[in-house]
């Protein structure tokens, strides 16, 4: 039965999303109809008019971003662009996301697209906890985002464009009076969906009915209520900007404190930005300067432990005794309320991103530009457990320091000229980027219970017999050097041609294959500008596009093409032997990874055919794209089988293996007559993607492994030959036999159940994603609704397979009615990985809803000083329709196996919140 989670009607009536307002940039003709606006989009090392673009580029402006409490760019983008699937890994503040553009096309290089902020190419490496590397940028500073989806658009970034490119443009000053903006919002968040575990009375009955031993301490505790809270978040931003004919500036300060629904969970961000542009010598010299400084403070709970506890903890255990957390329960278990007080995971990260871009017009149309930039971040992470006397638990401390230094130097020369009806725009350039990542870690344990937190004690002063120390040091330096060029040609604005070539050299690859070459070509035909279209007044825009190109992927660990050695001093690796009768082994080294100077780039080849159209005075606009994307030269680490090989592992390109993504994208938008008092728009997008792994020499490359007692490291899904990525490769569950144990299908008919009886039982990746947005405005009110959904994917509910077994009742731990589905099931039945715990992941969510009101300051007599006052109420994750039995179907724990990303596995994941955001914006 489908479940629909709703808030009370009274709340529903006052909450909704941002909707269409008339914008100053809109051009209206005498009939109140939108004229054809020549939108400018960023295409990498430059910009183009939308009508001149030959590649597949999706764009989102700031007024169309998702509203509410937003920590990073992925949340702004979710549901906005066809073919761009954004999935939150968890509900934790600032959590990472899977952003997949046109399907997964790699084995070990992840799915993260390349980010370019104001011309600076960002490194996707994280520093500190596994949260989103883009948390450092304040979403309020972003003016627009352009997503380069096909190879023609992304090939200008060559070796890093295979996963797509997201170009972020921050805000600039605009001509006119100096503008100042103040915005603030308050967010209230609660657990969106509670799991239906047994209450105390039902628990007592179910344990006895199952034949378990009841451990009853007489309490009645809802551990989900005890271990979650109402999160209260705050966000404040202030900006000032202005511009003249020769200069513009934008400066902003921001503060955000996002509080999670689990205790000890919050993300604070302090940010500042200055963007300045200056022109000189009649505009022939131009200097752009961008500076962004951010400090983030991230406090994280042990989410897996907390969620597992609140779902399985005995509800008869009293949370408190005499007003204080109950110290010890019957079985000696540790009260999670105490665990909450002694555990700490805290990270601070300071990051500066700065770039300066002077340019000179040497002669008319010929411009040289230099781009110098640095992105530096330094983080410190502290994980500790404070010692506790009752129950007895020793303290420990894990200290880590990280730094990431990214420097960029680029030189480009662009020449734009016209010969009669022929338009040319030629650009060539050189880029050099160097990245240095370092980390240092130390672990200490057995701290004394002296009332001082481990992080404030000096380990060297602790007694040697109480502290054990381990240390790690890692350093990686990677360099990328590139030459690139692009030619844009147009004839009478009707016939368009773009050709791109980039050569990338990376220190990550083998000595014999440092460089890769990534060409692309695209053509466009503006059919609507042909003479035979002049009398067809209903069609205002019609353009046909076609492209072909190659992009690369270099997102693999550094040094993997080089030999790796490991020290050994006990003889277990046969790297050393005793030199005397004492039996002591000296330190020896042995080879653990062979070098491979032949390692090459992963290459993605993509073809695209697209159609852009606008009819009814461009009130109805749309785009249709068909693409075929094939990735080969797939990189992986393999176990060597040749006995002559000196090491057990080596990084290699897998011969013949291919990952294919074929898809269809459709975007439609309709805008009403904007000259009327009531305006509205309806829009949406959808994408169909068929993914397949072919010609793999392996039957299955495991990616997702089970977690939790009884199933740890058991294979759940992976790359199965001739199946989609993320295919669940498990046994088929048929029921429970008379003995109370599992029945699995004997696929090969040999009479025994083994791993050879596993079947491909669906993929974690959806076949179909869709998004719907509705906007409306009447006078000073505006309203908006954004829906998003997926279909055709499966989720492995590892939470249910591990925590909701009948055996849990046998040991007096809580569960759901999933454990009582088969009354004759034995308490000793195994929770083996199978289709029993595989569920459909389809859902439709009202993701974002805003109701806004613009108050005219003149009504308050302050119109001379204040231009506008806006009040808004936003709801996020208002309701969801799904059959999934877990907290939320849009989730993935981010698990991986051997460095290969997994998809569609839910194990005690930080649950999603439902949030209500109350905001005010004052423009001076």
- Condensed to tens digits (0 to 9), the pLDDT of residues 352-398 reads 999 999 999 999 999 999 999 999 999 999 999 998 877 677 888 99
Tokens of 766: 């959806």
Bridge partner list, 504 = 482, 516
Question: In this predicted structure, what is the pLDDT of residue 659?
Answer: 94
- Between CA 300 and CA 94 the distance in angstroms is 10
Torsion of CA 566, 567, 572, 575, to 10 degrees: 90
Tens digits of residue pLDDT in 596-615: 888 888 899 999 999 999 99
Average pLDDT for the chain: 87
Please give the Cα distance from 236 to 219 (Å, whole number).
43
- Please count the helices (runs of H) and the strands (runs of E) in the chain: 9, 49
**pLDDT for 898 beyond 70:** no
At 16, is the secondary structure helix, strand, or coil? coil
How many CB atoms sit inside 10 A of residue 150's CB?
32
Give CA separation, 191 vs 97, 739, 844, 913, in Å.
20, 40, 18, 5
Highest mean pLDDT among 166-175, 456-465, 565-574: 166-175
Average pLDDT estimate for 535-559: 90
**Nearest-5° Cα angle at 551, 547 to 552:** 170
Query: How far is Cα 587 from Cα 571, in angstroms, rounded to an integer?
Result: 9
Q: Does 228 or 755 have the greater pLDDT score?
A: 228
Q: Which pLDDT score, from 0 to 100, does residue 16 have?
A: 29
pLDDT class of 74 with cuts at 50, 70, 90:
confident
Greater model confidence, 508 or 169 = 169
Q: Which two tokens stand for residue 51?
A: 């009508």
- pLDDT, residue 13, reads 30
Distance CA 482, CA 881 (A): 48
Among 449-458, 463-472, 522-531, whose mean pLDDT is lowest? 463-472
Residue with tokens 């009332």: 451
pLDDT given for residue 587 in this prediction: 67
17 pLDDT exceeds 50?
no
Specify the pLDDT at position 630.
Answer: 95
What is the pLDDT at residue 474?
86
The yes-or-no verdict on residue 261 having pLDDT over 90 is yes
E strand segments, 112-164:
114-117, 120-121, 142-148
Q: Partners of 277 in the beta sheet?
A: 248, 288
Q: Say which residue, 643 or 234, is predicted with more confidence.
A: 234
Residue with the two structure tokens 């941002």? 18
The count of C-alpha atoms lying within 13 angstroms of the C-alpha of 320, restricted to the half-sphere facing its C-beta, is 5
Q: What is the pLDDT of residues 783-807, one digit of tens each?
A: 999 999 999 999 999 999 999 999 9
pLDDT, residue 31, reads 35
Beta bridge pairs of residue 851: 783, 873
How much is the pLDDT for 862?
85
Instruction: State CA 184 to chain mean position distance.
Output: 26
Give the residue carrying structure tokens 């949406």.
Answer: 684
The pairing of strands 165-170 and 515-526 is: unpaired
What pLDDT, in 10s, does the model give residues 846-887?
999 999 999 988 888 887 888 899 999 999 999 999 999 999
Distance CA 658, CA 606 (A): 13
pLDDT for res 646: 64
Place of tokens 């208002």: 878
| Greatest Cα-to-Cα distance within the chain, rounded to the nearest angstrom | 102
Instruction: Report angle CA 287, 292, 297 to the nearest 5 degrees.
Output: 175
279 Cβ contact list (under 8 Å, min separation 6): 245, 246, 247, 285, 286
State how far the alpha carbon of 414 is from the alpha carbons of 116, 155, 321, 418, 472, in Å.
Answer: 20, 18, 75, 14, 47
d(C-alpha 742, C-alpha 533), whole Å: 68
Do 834 and 794 contact (CB within 8 A), yes or no? no
Neighbours of 597 (CB within 10 A): 12
| Spatial CA neighbour of 550 closest among 506, 504, 518, 505 | 518
| Residue 917 neighbours by CB distance under 10 Å | 23
What's the confidence (pLDDT) of residue 10? Answer: 30
Give the model's confidence band at 568: pLDDT under 50 very low, under 70 low, under 90 confident, else very high: low
What does the pLDDT read at residue 599? 87
Q: Report whether 548 contacts 152 (CB < 8 A).
A: yes
- Pair 606, 549: CB distance under 8 Å: yes
> Which residues are bridge partners to 120 per DSSP?
117
Average pLDDT over residues 740-764: 92
pLDDT digits (tens, 9 = 90+) for 677-732: 899 999 999 999 999 999 998 888 887 777 777 666 678 888 899 999 989 999 99
CA separation (Å) from 860 to 502, 725, 807, 868, 919? Answer: 58, 60, 67, 11, 19
The CA angle 529-532-533, to the nearest 5 degrees, is 50
State the SS3 of 2-16: CEECCCCHHHHCCCC
User: Of residues 68 and 799, which shows the higher confidence score?
Assistant: 799
- Residue 123, C-beta contacts closer than 8 angstroms, at least 6 positions apart: 375, 404, 406, 435
Distance between CA atoms of residues 164 and 154, nearest Å: 6
Give dist(CA 141, CA 657) in Å, integer.
43
According to DSSP, the residues that pair with 777 across neighbouring strands are 679, 782
What mean pLDDT comes out for the span 191-195?
94
Q: What is the mean pLDDT of residues 147-171?
A: 92
CA-to-CA distance for 810 and 210, rounded, in angstroms? 7
pLDDT-derived band at 456 (thresholds 50, 70, 90) equals: confident
Euclidean distance between CA atoms 355 and 833, whole angstroms: 51
Query: Per-residue confidence at 644, pLDDT binned at 50, 70, 90?
Result: low
Per-residue confidence (pLDDT) for residue 14, from 0 to 100: 33
Indicate the pTM of the whole model: 0.90
Residue 9 is predicted with a pLDDT of: 30
Residues 350 and 375: beta-carbon distance below 8 Å? no
The residue that leads in pLDDT, 542 or 459, is 542
Is the model's pLDDT at 451 over the cut of 50? yes
Residue, of 671 and 704, whose pLDDT is higher = 671
Distance in angstroms (rounded) separating the CA atoms of residues 89 and 109? 17
């Amino acid at each position: 039965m489908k479940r629909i989670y709703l808030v009370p009607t009274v709340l529903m009536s006052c909450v909704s999303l941002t909707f269409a307002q008339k914008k100053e940039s809109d051009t209206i003709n005498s009939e109140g109809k939108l004229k054809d606006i020549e939108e400018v989009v960023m295409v990498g090392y430059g910009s183009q008019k939308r009508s001149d673009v030959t590649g597949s580029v999706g764009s989102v402006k700031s007024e169309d971003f998702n509203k509410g409490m937003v920590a990073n760019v992925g949340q702004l983008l979710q549901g906005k662009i066809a073919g761009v699937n954004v999935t939150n890994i968890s509900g934790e503040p600032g959590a990472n996301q899977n952003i997949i553009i046109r399907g997964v096309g790699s084995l070990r290089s992840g799915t993260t697209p390349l980010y370019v902020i104001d011309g600076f190419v960002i490194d996707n490496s994280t520093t500190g906890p596994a949260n989103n590397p883009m948390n450092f940028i304040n979403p309020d500073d972003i003016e627009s985002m352009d997503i380069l989806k096909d190879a023609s658009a992304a090939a200008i970034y060559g070796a890093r464009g295979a996963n797509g490119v997201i170009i972020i443009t921050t805000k600039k000053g605009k001509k006119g009076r100096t503008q100042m903006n103040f915005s603030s919002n308050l967010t209230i968040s609660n657990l969106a969906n509670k799991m239906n575990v047994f209450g105390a009375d039902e628990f007592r009955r179910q344990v006895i009915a199952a034949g378990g031993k009841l451990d009853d301490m007489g309490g009645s505790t809802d551990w989900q209520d005890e271990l979650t809270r109402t999160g209260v978040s705050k966000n404040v931003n202030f900006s000032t900007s202005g511009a003249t004919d020769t200069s513009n500036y934008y400066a902003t300060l921001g503060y955000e404190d996002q509080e999670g629904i689990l205790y000890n969970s919050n993300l604070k961000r302090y940010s500042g930005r200055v963007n300045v542009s200056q022109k000189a010598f009649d505009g022939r010299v131009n200097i752009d300067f961008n500076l962004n400084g951010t400090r983030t403070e991230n406090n994280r709970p042990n989410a897996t432990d907390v969620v597992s506890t609140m779902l399985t903890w005995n509800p008869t255990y009293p949370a408190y005794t005499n007003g204080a957390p109950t110290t010890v329960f019957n079985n000696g278990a540790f009260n999670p309320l105490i665990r909450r007080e002694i555990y700490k995971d805290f990270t601070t990260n300071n990051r500066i991103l700065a770039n300066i871009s002077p340019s000179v017009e040497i002669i008319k149309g010929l411009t040289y530009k230099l781009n110098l930039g640095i992105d530096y971040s330094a983080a410190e992470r502290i994980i500790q457990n404070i010692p506790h006397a009752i129950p007895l638990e020793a303290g420990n401390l894990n200290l880590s320091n990280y730094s990431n230094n990214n420097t960029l130097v680029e030189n480009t020369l662009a020449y734009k000229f016209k010969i009669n009806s022929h338009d040319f725009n030629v650009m060539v350039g050189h880029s050099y980027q160097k990245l240095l990542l370092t980390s240092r870690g130390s672990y200490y344990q057995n701290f004394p219970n002296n009332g001082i937190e481990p992080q404030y004690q000096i380990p060297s002063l602790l007694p040697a017999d109480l502290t054990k120390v381990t240390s790690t040091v890692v350093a990686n330096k990677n360099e990328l050097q590139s030459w690139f060029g692009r030619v844009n040609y147009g004839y009478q604005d009707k016939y368009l041609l773009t050709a791109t070539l980039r050569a990338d050299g990376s220190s990550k690859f083998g000595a014999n294959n440092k460089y890769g070459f990534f060409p692309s070509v695209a053509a466009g035909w503006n059919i609507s500008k042909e003479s035979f279209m002049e009398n067809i007044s209903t069609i205002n825009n019609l353009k046909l596009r076609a492209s072909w190109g190659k992009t690369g992927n270099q997102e693999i660990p550094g040094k993997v093409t080089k030999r790796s050695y490991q020290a050994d001093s006990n003889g277990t690796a046969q790297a050393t032997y005793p030199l005397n009768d004492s039996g002591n082994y000296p330190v020896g080294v042995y080879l653990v990874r062979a070098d491979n100077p032949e390692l090459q780039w992963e290459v993605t080849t993509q073809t695209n055919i697209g159609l852009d159209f606008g009819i009814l005075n461009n009130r109805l606009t749309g785009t249709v794209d068909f693409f075929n994307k094939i990735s080969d030269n797939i990189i992986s680490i393999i176990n060597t089988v040749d006995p002559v090989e000196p090491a057990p592992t080596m990084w290699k390109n897998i011969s013949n293996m291919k990952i294919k993504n074929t898809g269809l994208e459709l975007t439609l938008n309709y805008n009403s007559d904007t000259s009327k008092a009531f305006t509205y728009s309806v829009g949406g997008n959808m994408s169909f993607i068929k993914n397949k792994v072919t010609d793999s020499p392996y039957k299955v490359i495991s990616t997702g492994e089970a977690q939790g007692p009884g199933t740890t490291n058991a294979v759940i899904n992976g790359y199965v030959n001739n199946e989609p990525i993320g295919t669940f490769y498990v046994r088929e569950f048929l029921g429970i036999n008379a003995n109370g144990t599992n029945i699995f299908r004997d696929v090969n008919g040999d009479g025994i159940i083994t791993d050879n009886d596993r079947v491909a039982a669906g993929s974690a990746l959806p076949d179909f994603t869709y998004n719907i947005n509705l906007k409306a405005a009447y006078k000073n009110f505006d309203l908006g609704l954004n829906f998003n959904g997926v279909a055709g994917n499966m989720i492995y509910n590892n939470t249910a397979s591990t925590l909701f077994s009948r055996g849990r009742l046998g040991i007096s731990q809580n569960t759901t009615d999933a454990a009582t589905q088969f009354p004759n099931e034995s308490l000793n039945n195994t929770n083996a990985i199978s289709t029993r715990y595989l569920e459909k992941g389809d859902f439709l969510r009202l993701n974002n809803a805003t109701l806004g009101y613009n108050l005219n300051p003149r009504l308050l007599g302050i119109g001379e000083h204040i231009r506008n006052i806006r009040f808004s109420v936003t709801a996020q994750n208002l309701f969801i329709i799904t059959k999934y039995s877990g907290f939320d179907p849009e989730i993935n724990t981010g698990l991986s196996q051997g460095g290969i990303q997994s998809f569609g596995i839910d194990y005690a994941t930080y649950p999603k919140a439902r949030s209500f955001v109350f905001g005010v914006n004052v423009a001076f």
